[in-house]
Chain A
């Protein structure tokens, strides 16, 4: 019993300490971001654009594919239940709302977490191990400004874009199943989707996606920059970056949904 309590206590402590360090990193990035309005050179432009291409353009195909697949599955499963109420034609509304509010941002975030979060942690971790981060420090260049800031900004711009793509592709997947497999009239499907969606669905989805992007970038960069040791430590940091990011994304998603749809006045 005592042992279990001790273990729980230690784990909680480590968790809180980790969150505190990520918060610290986040506030440092925030300060540099504010400085960049006065001194535009604060943002290392080349890294920023390189990261935007890597995160945005290079990930479009995979996010589209996963988004479409999820939309398709959702339509198929929803139709099964809706059939019992004779409401198959509402499949479009269900897929549209679910994709825009929840699944689009979530799917995009999880794909990017695996693709980009892991890459950031491994890249920065290797840089740490090979003394490149120390080299930056001795050149009087702040590693957070030079390495973390452009990655956070690039992800914060690109992830909401990717989640819109996932939204659209998911609705498209649902539409194709709806008109072919479920026999819903194309006009009915589209009009039901448009009727069900309100602007709030879209922008809450985008807001969530923005929060996820900050989480992924900060957690991954933090894991990378705090590597100490060799190849083994880089591997561990990479795994942890992905696992911690995904857990945080889902927990934060839960909280955000509760706050946006239940706590705030409509």
Chain B
């Protein structure tokens, strides 16, 4: 296995009384694609937000590229942030800027390159995601799949070591979603970028993952390759893969409490 680039140690996050992450341990190897999977509300998005420093843990450590980001202040965190890119679920493009300007934002802010060089880099990045010639379009003039690709071009503008993807296939048709998967694979292989993908789409996960981490109720349930997960004997994992409404997790989760509540009032 490759060197770990991210290590999560006993990460706990509480929002008020609600514990969302309950002692997560995980290791993400360098240069590989790691998929974090789990049902809605299992804490996978919260975990991702910890990795990019948008949330601070209640306790525990998050080591990214040799630094414990749980203890970093804002300037220190920003130094780490320059090493990674992030693809948001809704693309999060700046609507008042053109596609080209969007991709240029990190370059303008973090480098002293001349506008001509920036223009060339923007073109190269857009070519990487297959959108040559779209520089002057506004985000509302292009489709959802194209927006995702522009957002990806922006995420890799500064040649990051790690790229995080939040539900890259969400809201896209199967063909576009598989194109995005192809891009993730390409970037990972060609540029040896470490990818961390949060998703609940099984097909996509099995297609791209070198390692899969399954979360349930804020804890790591299983870690393994796509094959390990498919052959898992864990009832919940099987239910999740098959997409069955009944199984380890019952369809009606609170029937007893519900009856009690009805009778009490």
Contacts and interface: CB of A to CB of B under 8 A. Distances in A.
Interface in B64-121: 74, 77-79, 81-82, 84-86, 88-90, 92-96, 105-106, 109-110
Contact of B54 (A127, A130, A134, A142): A134
Contact of B105 (A134, A139, A142): A139
Interface residues of B, number: 25
A135 interface: yes
A24 interface: no
Contacts of A41: 109
Contact of B88 (A50, A135, A142): A135
Nearest to A131: B92
B90 A131 contact: yes
Interface in B36-59: 52-54
B56 to A, nearest CB: 13
Contacts of B93: 132
Given A140-B78, A140-B81, A140-B82, A135 B92 contact: yes
Contact of A134 (B84, B92, B110): B92
Nearest to A145: B109
Interface in A134-169: 134-135, 137-142, 146
A141 B109 contact: yes
Nearest to B54: A134
Contacts of B79: 140
Contact of B52 (A132, A138, A142, A146): A138
Nearest to A50: B96
B86 A141 contact: no
Contacts of A50: 96
A138 B54 contact: yes
Given A138-B81, A140-B82, A132 B105 contact: no
A127 B77 CA distance: 22
Nearest to A139: B106
B94 A132 contact: yes
Given A132-B94, A134-B54, A139 B88 contact: no
B92 A139 contact: no
Contacts of A130: 90, 92, 95
A131 B82 contact: no
A100 B163 CA distance: 57
B82 A138 contact: no
Contacts of B96: 50, 123
A134 B78 CA distance: 13
A135 B85 CA distance: 9
A123 B94 CA distance: 11
Contacts of A141: 105-106, 109
Interface of A: 41, 50, 123, 127, 130-132, 134-135, 137-142, 146
23 contacts: A41-B109, A130-B90, A130-B95, A132-B92, A132-B94, A132-B95, A134-B54, A134-B88, A135-B86, A138-B52, A138-B53, A138-B85, A138-B86, A139-B81, A139-B105, A139-B106, A139-B109, A139-B154, A140-B82, A140-B110, A141-B106, A142-B78, A146-B109
Given A135-B86, A140-B81, 7 more contacts: A123-B96, A127-B94, A130-B92, A132-B93, A134-B54, A137-B54, A139-B109
